[in-house]
A and B are shown apart, each in its own frame.
Chain A
């Protein structure tokens, strides 16, 4: 079959760091070619180079056998490359229609010829079964539909080669099936697809060939038929990683926090809670499973006092919570690993030391006269102890926290949130974007907090993480609780159905 794309010896350096080193990739016409690799393996960098968002430090790209220089996304589009980014590139303030025709250069005239454009788009959407509502604003359509808009957008620009960057991350299983049908249809019509993922099951289901990247380098390209999921996992991680196995707790202690029939903007499908009743006991991890955007953020903010429920009640250690404020919950010894560490967890422009001590500066250990004189020396000594204990890699505790890697930033937050032996820990996507080493560290730390009697509410969109960590599992869908399942030998099929709202 004809080779549509070849990337040879692609290298990309950021300062001293090689994001890509000597990578080779070849994609044939009409195939689904998977790029498999861990976070930070260099998949996104490679694709950003292909799409003209980054310029490679070395190497050559060939399209249809001819060398090309892709200096901007505009060039990439012109060459027939379409990309569906993991974080959708959709303008929320505009409608589906406007998003699809945005940046259009193929048509003449100054004004938008709505009727003609609509006809073209509808033809495309029928041909590839890409169902969209053209006049809805982006904010009013579901994630799966937004993805179809992205694909349609690329096709509308005449894409022959489609890059789908982790397209299944935000989808339910049902939506994933739909996406795969569309992908099959596309390759059947002669398009080529580069599919980026780290989910073995999906990779084995949809790919024709698979290229594995590790630490910025190509490991190997294999045919799907000649490999197994286990082999791929080994190639991806590069070493035999003993599967972590944490002992499950079956008899939790007394309830730390319990929610009774809690509502919050319950009409909202994506950002509300509807009649949620649950309880976290001492010394257990309650895992909340679900696809992103089904009310998890609101649940986390509710049990940390950031927002107040609109209906129902919350009991903290047996007594009813009257006023909701983050400070009130902190005084109740509730800790929080928030979903967005840069936005909600850390003050990026402050030092590691200041971030570790963020909530403690009024404490007599660190200031005299009720907070009116900080003991800088004591602060520094303590921060350095924490740096050792939590293995935070930084030039010094005076380094600004925004310059740390994601894993080290998360460790700063752990040092702050766990050192005071909380009664309740609310952890939201605690390992998102972290490499395996840091993930393991975060998990181990959470388990030891649990074993010390802390109740843990773990909210994660990473199903594997939920299965590995949870002593009990609750599935949330559109703000409602779909069911509760045991953490040991969980009924996986039932849980994934529940996550899709069945």
Chain B
């Protein structure tokens, strides 16, 4: 393994350690014993099979949004609209699941399919505007997040509202995704992992995936070498939107069952963060998502056991991204490489 590769794999791990170190200092400052708190965190996330199931269930939507981010970035476009695409997917899914009258497996397939299409459609908007108007896809996709969130609001406060609480009616029991081994984790997790593997295969083992990555790394050279750059950009937007849309549907059918205020909130940016920590590697993204989910699930146990607020885990997650991105930049600096060489050559002489 060459040195560059080694460091880019090492950086996220060091970042996690550093983030935890800062987290421990915060915990200590709040008067808790960091060791106890971390113990509780671990137990809450992976202590028994039930907790593992909960962790995987929390990881599922995060896997979808981080794959969504990965796929678009591999083609060099910043799709920050994962959340909007996720929500639009879940809205369409909710509509079909509760209104079509179809139930059971056909409903599940139809819902997920339509949710994916809706997500792809939502992602096509920034894609088309980028291609035809040269516009900044980041701003547009973020604006569409807000629109999607508000549109979901229309659904649960108005159009599909059930009762006095602002939430939609629940999807029928027959249309819910089945649980795995009686745990909270459902077949949605399996779908997520399968999509992750497919994305990995596509990017690294097909000609089209290869060309898509080439477009992402150097658009001009790709154009000169005959690749349909614009088509790849639109394609990557749509597929990334489809992944998010499927994620939104799976989350609705597998975990939440109804749309409610806060559904999917923050998943888009979380997905971006995870994709960056995973350095756009789809399989690594799955692991990072599970790690993030573990922090979230475990932090509840931690709060109950030690009184450390759950938001400490959010700080740790945020620090991981802050450290990782800075660290990855640092190991690429010529100064860093030179310093490294000095250290190694000094070691050899000694």
Contacts and interface: CB of A to CB of B under 8 A. Distances in A.
User: Do the two shown chains form a genuine complex with each other?
Assistant: yes
A179 interface: no
Given A354-B210, A362-B207, A306 B223 contact: yes
A353 to B, nearest CB: 11
B221 A374 contact: no
B211 interface: yes
Given A367-B207, A372-B207, A347 B221 contact: yes
Interface residues of A, number: 29
A358 B225 contact: yes
Contact of A350 (B208, B214, B226, B338): B214
Of B204, B207, B217, B220, most A-chain CB atoms within 10 Å: B207
Contact of B217 (A306, A338, A348): A348
Contact of A371 (B208, B218, B220, B221): B208
Interface string B195-228: 0000000001111101101100110111111111
Contacts of B204: 374
A373 B208 CA distance: 10
A344 B210 contact: no
Contact of B225 (A326, A362, A371): A326
Interface residues of B, number: 22
Contacts of B338: 15
A346 B226 contact: no
Nearest to A366: B207
A176 to B, nearest CB: 32
Highest count of chain A CB atoms <10 Å: which of B224, B228, B338: B224
B174 interface: no
B346 to A, nearest CB: 16
A371 B206 contact: yes
Contacts of A345: 221, 224
A344 B217 contact: no
A176 B295 CA distance: 69
B214 A358 contact: yes
Interface string A331-372: 000001010000111111110001000110110000100011
B204 to A, nearest CB: 8
A373 B205 CA distance: 5
A329 B224 CA distance: 10
Contacts of B222: 347
Nearest to B205: A374
B218 A346 contact: yes
Contacts of A343: 218, 220-221
A15 B223 contact: no
A304 interface: yes
Nearest to A373: B205
Contacts of B227: 326-327
A354 B208 CA distance: 13
Nearest to B213: A350
A79 interface: no
Interface string B49-76: 0000000000000000000000000000
Contacts of A346: 218, 221
Given A361-B207, A373-B205, A349 B217 contact: yes
B341 interface: yes
A338 B226 CA distance: 13
Contacts of A265: none
Nearest to A338: B224
Nearest to A360: B207
A488 interface: no
A330 interface: yes
B211 A361 contact: yes
Given A326-B226, A327-B227, A373-B205, A361 B220 contact: no
A221 interface: no
Nearest to A417: B225
Given A306-B223, A306-B224, A327-B226, A347 B207 contact: no
A347 B206 contact: no
A325 interface: yes
A372 B221 contact: no
A325 B226 contact: yes
Given A327-B226, A336-B224, A373 B218 contact: no
Given A15-B341, A327-B228, A359-B226, A344 B221 contact: yes
Nearest to B207: A371
Contacts of B218: 343, 346-349
Interface in B236-287: none
A306 B226 CA distance: 9
A216 B93 CA distance: 68
Given A344-B221, A348-B217, A349-B217, A372 B226 contact: no
A354 B210 CA distance: 9
B4 to A, nearest CB: 8
Contacts of A349: 217-218
B349 to A, nearest CB: 16
A345 B223 CA distance: 10
A345 B220 CA distance: 8
A369 to B, nearest CB: 9
Interface in A288-341: 304, 306, 325-327, 329-330, 336, 338
Contacts of A374: 204-207, 210
Contacts of B213: 350
B130 to A, nearest CB: 20
Nearest to A358: B225
A345 B228 CA distance: 16
A330 B204 CA distance: 24
A350 B217 CA distance: 8
A502 B226 CA distance: 38
Contacts of B205: 373-374, 376
Nearest to B202: A372
Given A344-B220, A372-B207, A330 B214 contact: no
A338 B214 CA distance: 17
Contacts of A326: 223-227
A229 to B, nearest CB: 39
Contacts of B226: 325-327, 329-330, 359
Nearest to B223: A326
B340 to A, nearest CB: 12
B286 to A, nearest CB: 22
Nearest to A336: B224
A323 B214 CA distance: 24
Interface in A254-289: none
A361 B220 CA distance: 19
Closest 10 CB pairs of A and B: A371-B207, A327-B226, A361-B207, A326-B226, A330-B226, A362-B207, A347-B218, A344-B224, A349-B217, A347-B217
Interface of B: 204-208, 210-211, 213-214, 217-218, 220-228, 338, 341
15 contacts: A15-B338, A326-B224, A326-B226, A327-B226, A330-B225, A330-B226, A343-B220, A344-B220, A345-B224, A359-B225, A359-B226, A361-B211, A367-B206, A372-B207, A374-B204
Given A326-B227, A348-B217, A374-B204, 5 more contacts: A327-B226, A327-B227, A346-B218, A347-B221, A358-B225
